[in-house]
Structure formats: C-alpha cells, structure tokens
A and B are shown apart, each in its own frame.
Chain A
Amino acid sequence: MWVIAVWSIKGGVGKTTTAAALAALAAGEGQRTLLWDLDPQGAVSHWFRVAPRDRRAPRKLVKKSAPLAELARGSDLPNLDIVPSDLSHRAFEAELARRAHPKDRLGLKLAPLASVYDWVFLDCAPSVTLVSEAVLAAADAVLVPVVPSSLSLRTLEQIRRFQAEAGAEEVPLLPFLTMVDRRRRLHRHNADALAGSGEFLTTVVPLASAVERAAEFLTPVTLAAPSSPAAGSYLALWMELQQRMAGRQARFPATPRRA
C-alpha cells in the first residue's frame, strides 16, 4: 500500500484537485483506493458528497482502538473510499496533541489497511502543524503542488526546512508545477527554468477552466473532461508517480491472505 500525501503550506494551489484526480485515476485502474480528507474545510468530502458518519470522528481518528475503516465511506466511484472531514475536524490537531507519540498516530491508523488498499491519498490542510508531522511520518511520498510564482517557490523552501526539522528527510518530496498559465511571462519563465532543473517532476499541470468546471459539477477533472489538457496532465502525473514509487519499499507492505 502506497501512502501519498498531497501537501503545501500555501492554499489554493490545487491540492484537493490533485488528490481527487489521482485517487479517481487509481480507482479507475482497478486499484482499491482510499482518499483521506485531512483538511477541516472538507473540500474533498464535499466534492464526493460524503459527510463524516460520526460526530466523534476527530477523537476516533487518534484513538488506537477505533479502526480507520469505521470512518471510511464509499464514494460514487467504484474502488474509491473516502475518510471524510468537516469543520469538527479542526479538533483533530488538539486530540493528537493530547496523545503520546502523536506523530505515529496516522501510521497506526493506516497500518491495518495495508492489505486492503493499494493507494491511500492524504489531502492535507494548507498549514504546518502536528498533523503535518504525522503525515510526514506516515507517507511514502509527498506531492507538493507549486504555482510558478516566487511566493509559492518560497513555500517549497519552507516545506523543505520543516521536513528537515521534523527529521523526515527520507520521505521523497515530489514538487510539481501546477496552475501554469503560459500566457503569463513570469509563469513561462519559471516553468521553463524549473521543469528542466531535475528538482521537480516533469509533469506540468496547466491552469485550465476545465478544472474549475469539474469542481462545479463535483467530479474529478479526469472524469468530467477526460480529453482536456488538464486531465491529460493529471494522467501524466499519475504515471510519473507510479514510476517514482516502482522499486521502492512501501512503508506499509501488503501481506497476501493465504488460501
């Protein structure tokens, strides 16, 4: 089971769009997929029309005895389950802080699911908190959407510093350019310079109205407009992600059930 976090400190860079698109692509290929909404804004939950099934969910998310699966709900798409979130999940951070070894809590929740799901995507909130540290401790890789602007690039540096401070340097950070508007000189210049730097994934996600329209219809862009350039770029990102993970040792390897 691969655990992929989609995270940035900056808001509005396409984290939810990316997490939803990748989860839909994985599920669409017959992979059992879980999308865990870790953002109290609950955008991805709203997107898939899934509300938390339990008001005590934030507490259950950190309690050892409560399986994560009890909080998961099936989406309208085959093979895709969601652990939804809403504003009550703002208490998650505080619940986590009250527990011993808070950084390990996400991993403890995910470990029993290793033989059930093939991919888990974590849609993270745009913040640096204890939850972020727990994400780094549980993820096999962190996808960081970066808009080619100087502020967004500065955010990437902050994430790197935070990762080092958290002692999680072994987790691959996979930045990629997103919302790239090639009509804008600054985007064009930064995108061209960064895409060939080797620091970023080669996939570039363009700024596209198809993404906004898809959000209106509460459908991942890869399904709402599958032939759009944006959908094509998410497919390329999905393939690149799989290549990056190939040959690596998963943090939570599946153990086959014996006959």
Chain B
Amino acid sequence: MRRKGPTTPAHSPELSYRVFEIVSPCPPTSLGRLLPDGYTLALGAERLVERSYLDTHDWRLWTAGASLISETAEGVTSLVWRPPHAGAVTVPRWSLPRLAADLPEGAVRRELHPLIGERALLVHGSVLVHQRAGGIRNACHKIVIRAWWERGQCLDARGHPTGRPLTSLRVEGVLGYEGAWRALVASLEAAPFLQTPAETELQRAAGARGRAPGDYSSRLDIQLTPEMPAAEATRLILRRLLHMASANLAGTVEDVDPEFLHDLRVAVRRARSALGQLAGCYDEIRHAPLREELRWLGGITGACRDLDVFLADLRGYQGELGSDTGEWLAPLVEEVARQRTEQHAALRAALTSARLRRALGLWRRLTEPPRRPARAPEAQRPAGEVGAERVQRAYQRLRRHARRLPVPAPPEGLHRLRIDAKKLRYLLEFFASLWGRRGAALIRHLKELQDALGVFNDLAVQQRRLAEILQALLARGEVAVPTALAAGRLAALLEERQTVQRSAIAERLEAFFARQIRAEVASLGDSGEEV
C-alpha cells in the first residue's frame, strides 16, 4: 500500500519502482531487446541473495508506505530503506537492526525512527533470490534505470523454500532521468511475456510464514451493527480483544520490545472494562471466572509495565537535565532496570503457566458463537441503543466527578477522573463503527483531556517511584551525594510540571463538557436530549 505524499527534493514523484513477472522462459540477456533504441541492459554475474522484509509487529512501516529490506549475499548484509516520500537509501555492510537506534546515523535512522519509535524490527518474510543486478545505460553509458533480474522463492518460518518460484525483472528509476523511465516502462508494459504480479513479494513472503501485511494493529476496529443484540456485540468485542492479547503474548514473554506488554495489558484492561460496563448484556455467571482471570492478568502485568514506563521516562529526563545531572542519575536508572528484569522474570513465569493457558481457553470459549441466545436482562437489546446509553452514562459520571472536584484538585481526584475518562474512551472505541465521524470526533476531544490527565498522573507516579527507588538505594547505602542531589533536582522538576499540568486539565475539562460536546454525546442515542 503506497500512499501518495508531498514530494521531497531528492525524489522525483514520477520515479518509482516496478516489478514485472516474466511469465514465459526467457534468458535475462534477451530482455535487452525490449528496450527503446539507444538503451542497453547490463547485468552482473548471478549471485544468491537472502532478502528479508523487516517491520514492527504492528506493521508501522507498511502502514506508512515505507519498507526496510535486508539483503545478505556471500555473508555480507546490506539494508535497503524506501521511505514513504523520498528516494531509496542503501546501507552496505550493516547487520540486521533490532531498533531504529541500531541504524547508522543519517537519513535512514532519521526517517525511520519517527515511524517506528522504540518498537523492535522483526523479520516478517524472507525470499531466497538468484539475482543479477545491473542497470539500463543510455548512449553515454550512464545508468538511467537500475535493474535486477531475479528468480526467487519464499522461505517458510523454518527457512525452507516454499511455494512457486517467481522469475521477475525489477526496475527502479534514477533521479533526473524521468524520460528514460517513461519510455522503458511503456516498453516493458507492452511486452507479452511480462506482467505485474498478482501479489507483492512482501505479501508472498509474509504469507509463507502465515502472516499478511497489516494483519495486526493495536486499533480496535470492531465492526458492529446498531440492530445486533448487545450480547453478540459483547462477544465480538471480547473476541477482538482476545486476538489482541494472544498476538502480544509471545513478544511479551520473549521481551522483544515494551510495546508487546503494553498492548497485552491494554487488551486485558479493555476486556475487564467491557465486562464491567456492559453488565446485563451477557451471562454474568458464565463470565464470572473470566472476570477473575482478567483481574489476575491485570495484576501480574502491572508492575513490569510501570517499570518500563518509568525507565523510559528516567532516560528521557537524563538527557533533559544535562550531562552532569543526567550522569548522576545513572545509579537510579540501573536500579530501575534491575527491578524491571526481576519483574519480567516473574511475568514470564506467569505468562507461561498452566493458569494462563486455562485463562485463554476460557476467554476463547466465551467468544465462540453461542448455541442458544444469552438470557441476561439486556442481552437482546439492540447494540446501538445499549452502546449510546452506556456512553452517555459514562460521560455523565465523568462530568459529575469533575464537578465535585475541589480547587485545587487533589491528585487522587484527578486519578479517579483519569479512570472515568479511560472507561468512556474504551466504550467509544468499542462502538466506534456505529457512529462514524461523530464517534471519531468525540474520541479526539476526549483524547486531549486524557493526555492532560495522563501526564499529570505520570508525573505523580514518577515522583512516588523516584522516592521509592531512592529509599531502596539509601537502605543499601548505595547512593552518592551527587546522585541524591540529582534526584532532588528531578523531583523538583516533576512537581513544577505537575502544577503547570493542573491548569491544562482544568481548561480541557471545560472544553470537554462544552454544550457542543454534550449535544454530540446526546445525539448518539435516540432521545437527542442534551445530557
């Protein structure tokens, strides 16, 4: 999926990259006959290349229209980066990167990092390719189009060739030679034995591993209908959340990157929230064991996630506070990292336990189509009606709690608001497919409030954690005076920021309870009355 975007200077919008499948036997050299007069095809010697497609678990590069490919030939690996809106960059002799930080300083890291953040790069598909690389030269012997003749076969997850081998000609335009590109592509498109492959190489390679581009996203995207019984809507919500939790389990156990645990935890929290807020829509007795298991899952994932967040924040503050203070914070960072390793070991044990397997089995059974209609009091009510009603109820609760807050608002009160806002957000997301743009706009407004509440809460948690870590180190006599002073400076900074954040929350609360938003929330239901 390539998206058209603004043109950046080093890339001509006309230039692109095309792959033609060679559908009848044809030696590579005979391809030269297809070229317009004045052009010659020159290909190098054949070599064996293992090409792998790298992306994050949630396909951030593919979603952005970018790709990162590693090519290994004769034991040497090179990377090819194709950003969404600029020309390709080849990084020769570079090992497989795990994170954006493992890439060389320069264009590749600069363009890739904003797309993937701290997510790990994983191999989503590999192809074994017999390749002859070269180019099409003009009369001055200048390469005006890069070209590769290839015969490739996808590799399965165990590295074994699988599926039909595909012979192809890949061509890529060179900046400043758009005329040659147009003439060449026209010639190749007219050739009877060349055709555009039905699937991209990435699709075939990912398919050989049982994956497909975009097959996992942390977006909920649950397709509901307004008339659907509420029990069925609840089942579909729980099914999607089970898929999300399962998709992040292995990555959390293997500790690939912190986002696996984040997404797993969010899926569990959303499921708990769904069961809590859609009470009456499902069989409470049947679901009671799942509620208990979700509570357990929420508990075991909490400590490690908190430490992940605190570790990332501390590292950020190290950079922010300048080299001296930052360096003196290093013992704190090490202590948090040590605690995090301990917590992850405990988490791994829990996630590979029989209890976890039983919990997932239970979750799965509850998401299978029921043999008979659910008998809960509101199970057969239309999903559209129930969804609107629960959203309105959650909105009113948030508003009520916000009104009761004293000035200045205490941290506990703001924490409660944050939880209320989160529950409302989950409900809006569960039923988003019913409300289209209206729902999306409400989520956008709510997100602004949540961001302010979230930052305030993070700052409160960070201060508490900082004190705990410092105390732990002091008890062991492992704190140097400058480290304690640096921690003091950081604590003061956090408190100062919290004060600033408090006024931002007040502004956003006012905006979120404005007449227009209240009317929007009311319009989700049938009554149309302002809530």
Chain A residues with CB under 8 Å of chain B are: 28-32, 34, 49-51, 53, 67-69, 72-74, 76, 78-79, 81, 112-113, 115-118, 254, 256-259
Question: For the complex, what is the distance from the CA of A118 to the CA of B111, rounded to whole Å?
Answer: 12
Question: For the complex, what is the distance from the CA of A183 to the CA of B79, rounded to whole Å?
Answer: 44
B176 within 8 A of A: yes
Q: Which residues of B contact A117 (CB under 8 A)?
A: 10, 107
B203 within 8 A of A: no
Contact in complex: B8, A30 (CB < 8 Å)? no
Contact in complex: A32, B90 (CB < 8 Å)? no
Least CB distance from A179 to B in Å reads 29
Question: For the complex, what is the distance from the CA of A258 to the CA of B175, rounded to whole Å?
Answer: 25
Question: For the complex, what is the distance from the CA of A228 to the CA of B60, rounded to whole Å?
Answer: 44
Q: Which residues of A contact B266 (CB under 8 A)?
A: none
Closest A-chain residue to B104, C-beta based?
A: A30
Contact in complex: B114, A74 (CB < 8 Å)? no
Contact in complex: B94, A30 (CB < 8 Å)? yes
Q: Can you report 25 A-B residue pairs in the complex whose CB atoms are below 8 A from each other?
A: A30-B91, A30-B108, A31-B104, A32-B10, A34-B10, A50-B176, A69-B8, A69-B9, A69-B10, A72-B10, A72-B175, A73-B176, A73-B177, A74-B177, A76-B142, A76-B143, A78-B90, A81-B175, A116-B8, A116-B107, A118-B107, A257-B85, A257-B111, A259-B64, A259-B117
Tell whether A30 pairs with B79 under 8 Å between CB atoms, given A81-B175, A117-B10. yes
Chain B: interface residue total (CB-CB under 8 A): 34
Q: Other CB < 8 Å A-B pairs besides A69-B8, A72-B175, 5 of them?
A: A29-B104, A73-B174, A81-B175, A116-B8, A116-B9
Question: For the complex, what is the distance from the CA of A157 to the CA of B190, rounded to whole Å?
Answer: 63
Q: Which residues of B contact A79 (CB under 8 A)?
A: 89-90
Q: Which residues of B contact A74 (CB under 8 A)?
A: 87, 174-177
What is the count of residue pairs linking A and B with beta-carbon distances less than 8 angstroms?
Answer: 88
Q: Which residues of B contact A72 (CB under 8 A)?
A: 9-10, 175-176
B243 within 8 A of A: no
Q: Mark B54-78, 1 if CB is under 8 A from A, else 0.
A: 0000001000100000000000000
Least CB distance from B9 to A in Å reads 3
- Top 4 A-B residue pairs of the complex, sorted by shortest distance between their CB atoms: A73-B176, A69-B9, A30-B91, A74-B174
Question: For the complex, what is the distance from the CA of A16 to the CA of B457, rounded to whole Å?
Answer: 59
Q: Which residues of B contact A256 (CB under 8 A)?
A: 110-111, 113-114
Closest B-chain residue to A73, C-beta based?
A: B176
Least CB distance from B108 to A in Å reads 6
Question: For the complex, what is the distance from the CA of A31 to the CA of B110, rounded to whole Å?
Answer: 11
Contact in complex: B140, A30 (CB < 8 Å)? no
Contact in complex: A32, B177 (CB < 8 Å)? no
Question: For the complex, what is the distance from the CA of A78 to the CA of B94, rounded to whole Å?
Answer: 15
Question: For the complex, what is the distance from the CA of A32 to the CA of B110, rounded to whole Å?
Answer: 11
Q: Which residues of B contact A67 (CB under 8 A)?
A: 9
B436 within 8 A of A: no
Question: For the complex, what is the distance from the CA of A34 to the CA of B107, rounded to whole Å?
Answer: 13
Scan residues 196-213 of chain B and give those whose CB is less than 8 A from a CB of chain A.
none
Contact in complex: B110, A115 (CB < 8 Å)? yes
Least CB distance from A258 to B in Å reads 6
Question: For the complex, what is the distance from the CA of A111 to the CA of B267, rounded to whole Å?
Answer: 45
Question: For the complex, what is the distance from the CA of A130 to the CA of B4, rounded to whole Å?
Answer: 41
Least CB distance from A27 to B in Å reads 9
B115 within 8 A of A: yes
Question: For the complex, what is the distance from the CA of A84 to the CA of B106, rounded to whole Å?
Answer: 24
Question: For the complex, what is the distance from the CA of A31 to the CA of B114, rounded to whole Å?
Answer: 18
Q: Which residues of B contact A69 (CB under 8 A)?
A: 8-10
Question: For the complex, what is the distance from the CA of A233 to the CA of B386, rounded to whole Å?
Answer: 75
Contact in complex: A259, B142 (CB < 8 Å)? no
| Contact among A28, A68, A78, A257 with B9 in the assembled complex (CB-CB below 8 Å) | A68
B141 within 8 A of A: yes
Q: Which residues of A contact B85 (CB under 8 A)?
A: 257
Closest A-chain residue to B8, C-beta based?
A: A116
Tell whether A30 pairs with B135 under 8 Å between CB atoms, given A67-B9, A73-B176, A73-B177. no
Tell whether A257 pairs with B114 under 8 Å between CB atoms, given A72-B176, A73-B176, A116-B107. yes
Q: Which residues of A contact B86 (CB under 8 A)?
A: 116
Q: Which residues of A contact B176 (CB under 8 A)?
A: 50, 53, 72-74, 81
Contact in complex: B142, A118 (CB < 8 Å)? no
Question: For the complex, what is the distance from the CA of A51 to the CA of B138, rounded to whole Å?
Answer: 12
Least CB distance from A30 to B in Å reads 3
Scan residues 154-212 of chain B and give those whose CB is less than 8 A from a CB of chain A.
174-177
Contact in complex: B10, A30 (CB < 8 Å)? no
